Amino acid sequence: MSFLTRSRLLFGAGALTVLGLGYACAGRGSGSLAGTAEMAQRVYVAPGEKDELYAFLSGGFGGQLGVYGLPSGRLLRTIPVFSQHAENGYGYNEETKAMLETSYGFVPWDDLHHTALSQTEGDDDGRWIFVNGNNTPRVARIDLTTFETTEILEIPNAGGNHASPFVTGNTEYIVSSTRFSIPVPNRDVPIDEYKKFFKGQISFITADQPGKMDIAFQLIVPGFNYDLARAGKGPSDGWMFFTSYNSEQANTLLEVNASQNDKDYIAAVNYRAAEACAKAGKGVRAPAEYRHNIFDEFSRIARSERMTSVLQIQAAACPGSIYFLPTPKSPHGADVDPTGEYIVAGGKLATVIPVHSATKMLKAIADRQFEGELEGIPVLKYESTLAGEVQEPGLGPLHTEFDGQGFAYTSMFISSEVVKWNVETRQVVDRAPTFYSVGHLMIPGGATRHPYGRYVLAMNKITKDRYLPTGPELTQSAQLYDITGEKMKLLLDFPTQGEPHYANAIDAKKVVDRQVKFYKLAENRHPMVSRSERETGVERAGRVVHVRMTAIRSHFAPDNIEGVQVGDTVLVHVTNLEQDWDVPHGFAILGANTSELLIMPGETRTLRWIPRKPGVYPMYCTDFCSALHQEMQGYVRVSPAGSTVALTANTRRGAQARGTN
Ligand code: RUQ
Ligand code: CUA
């Protein structure tokens, strides 16, 4: 965004008088002293106390997920998902590299936008959180007992996985839909023949069994851009709603060419009907190449499976499985209220917020109130599904969340505000400025049947003057509001990892008791595990040297290795022998072209190292584990290729070699 556009956005925003203030005021100018004290009290978590909620904020273009405590806004952990993470070796060590395999090879980055907590009967259950990779289309499962990524599924025939991974009420499915339509199957065609070749695609992915994510079916739909989604519940149970824009099917200068039509569409998918249609044999198994990466619980090693086909259904071949609901104008968010009756769309360029009614939609379908069809998909009449519109809500409505008390909260990107309105009457009842250009909002449990309410979190696209500046790139930011009263109250600004898109929060109680404290050594099925120092040693197989090593406070065994040669591939398999909570050990070696290992108690991690020069190479523990952590070190002697130095290792301190050469 150019500075000019940016300033226009900001200064056009009315609510932003605060911009005139200097730095000292900008950060502290949100209320009187008494007000500030009250705000501070609401978010203050005293030393030794814990937050009431876990919040999972997408780490956007870092390809990772941030775990924060709320209401404090304190960062608790970064969970790497689609990105390598040097802090714990994810994507660098031999055990986890396979998680980042795709049909395009190793892709150590993605753009993570949306989160979806697993649900049971429409409420968050605290088992998993799912996230999407937008760029190289993928979805991932994160296990909330370990806060680790345990499964990644690539989505074929997708050109950007944005409308993802929204979850159904019993986690039967998560969804994925393509942001950019592409030729299906993808092939070499002229771009300006977009209308002829480019297709959209909506995938339903089975998600309730860990390790078994699979694409149940792919619906092939018109070549629009599909943006966001939400599952129905109550009267809309069995439906999933996807916004779409670019119904113009433009392939260049979309800012103009995809903003022509007054209305685009919500695609309402009856996934039970689509399932039945697939079962009735109306789909085809089409060839498709994609990866399914699974992290094994017992060996704690990831493997990547190559998938070769996907079940495809042409939307027109399954009447009753999909309908288009006209929706003004280039809609972005699609959100369903806790009762499941209302489907709210955020039209980036719309002047109203349209609210569709599930009951009216079902009736309109029964009465065939169609205004036409698009590639065989019936288009319902706008009035036939509309419950009403929120008038004059503000500028640039994007996303809506619900508090479970009958109110909806919509983010206004252009006018930088949160607008609270009554779901039944669609009257605006309150507005609060955000600083600035808010994207998603998040109410804890807002996507469930029973929102936890209490707070709304605004995730902003621009922070401008809110924090100490940090060079050309200013921090990313979220803002927490109290919503327990009639009026929203801003409580807290806190910086986040960039860029936060969507988030979920869950009552900490649902997660705390599930925590794995360490991995049982007796259950470690890693092929290179050493369950005690007696099982350690070195072994050569041609140019590959395996080192089986253990770590325990405060030494490695072995800690002196000789007989490694320049050009060998050295695989150091380190098992952490500790059997206690919060005692990881680290491992690093001078000059290795990879990150450290961080080894949790009871697990085995492998570092790959190809020494290039003769010499003696220190290795050490990187995690300050004990008073004698600095002593937790050793040496590897590297000799020239072809040297006669025997491969040996001292497997116990002071004891001599038990090399198996
Ligand atoms: S997006 S700011 Cu969810 Cu990628 Cu709307
Ligand atoms: Cu082990 Cu430091």
585 within ligand 2 shell (Cβ under 6 A): yes
Which ligand neighbours the alpha carbon of 631 most closely? Answer: 2
Cβ–ligand 1 distance for 398 under 6 Å, the answer yes
200 and 224 Cβ atoms separated by less than 8 Å = yes
Query: What ligand 1 atom has the least distance to the C-alpha of 502?
Result: 3
b/e per residue, 17-40, with b = 16+ CB within 10 A? Answer: ebeeeeeeebeeebeeeeeeeebe
Instruction: Report the C-alpha gap between 341 and 339 in whole angstroms.
Output: 5
Residue 629 Cα, ligand 2 centroid: separation in angstroms?
Answer: 5
Strand 386-390 and strand 353-357: the pairing is: antiparallel
Ligand 2 centroid from CA 558, angstroms: 15
Report which ligand 1 atom has the smallest distance to the Cα of 162.
4
- The torsion region of residue 155 among left (phi > 0), alpha (psi -120 to 50) and beta comes to beta
- For the CA atoms of the chain, what is the radius of gyration? 27
Beta-carbon contacts of 235 under 8 Å, excluding residues fewer than 6 positions away, are: 339, 340, 341, 358, 359, 362
Cβ of residue 501 lying under 6 Å from some atom of ligand 1 = yes
pLDDT at 660: 38
Atom of ligand 1 nearest to the CA of 461: 2
What the block records as the tokens of 169 is 């009420």
pLDDT at residue number 652 = 64
In whole angstroms, give the CA distance from residue 193 to residue 413. 33
- Ligand 2 atom closest to Cα of 584? 1
The alpha helices in 138-267, defined as continuous H runs, are: 194-197, 254-257
Cβ-Cβ contacts under 8 Å for 267 (sequence gap 6 or more): 202, 221, 226, 241, 242, 243, 244, 322, 323, 324, 325, 377
Ligand number nearest CA of 576 is: 2
Helix H, strand E, coil C: the string for 393-438 is CCCCEEEEEECCCCEEEEEECCCCEEEEEECCCCCEEEEEECCCCE
Residue 24's SS3 state is helix
Provide the pLDDT for residue 348.
Answer: 83
- Cα–Cα distance for residue pair 565/643, rounded to 1 Å: 7
Cβ atoms within 10 Å of 251's Cβ, excluding its own: 19
Q: Is 348 in the pocket of ligand 1 (CB under 6 A)?
A: no
3-class DSSP state for residue 191? helix
Do strands 198-206 and 182-183 pair parallel, antiparallel, or not at all (unpaired)?
antiparallel
What does the chain come to in residues? 661
pTM, rounded to two decimals:
0.94
**Alpha carbon of 410 to ligand 1 centroid (Å):** 13
- Tens-digit pLDDT profile for residues 298-335: 999 999 999 999 999 999 999 999 999 999 999 999 99
Whole-angstrom CA distances from 598 to 88, 295, 504, 601 are: 5, 17, 28, 10
Is residue 439 lining ligand 1, measured as CB closer than 6 Å? Answer: yes
> Smallest Cα–Cα separation from 494: which of 506, 478, 476, 514?
478
Residue 227 CA, ligand 1 centroid: distance in Å? 8
pLDDT the model gives residue 651: 77
Q: Is any ligand 2 atom within 6 A of the Cβ of residue 568?
A: no
Q: Which residues of the chain have pLDDT under 50?
A: 1-30, 653-661
Nearest ligand to the CA atom of 160: 1
Query: Rounded to an integer, what distance in angstroms lies between the CA atom of residue 529 and that of residue 602?
Result: 9
Which residue bears the tokens 């927490």? 480
What is residue 31's predicted lDDT score, i.e. its pLDDT?
Answer: 53
Ligand at shortest distance from the CA of 165: 1
Instruction: Identify the residue whose C-alpha is closest to ligand 2 atom 1.
Output: 585
Whether the CB of 623 sits within 6 Å of ligand 2: yes
Ligand 2 mean position, distance from CA 605 (Å): 15
Amino acid at 142: I
pLDDT at 199: 97
User: How is the beta sheet containing 331-336 ordered, strand by strand?
Assistant: 331-336, 342-347, 353-357, 386-390
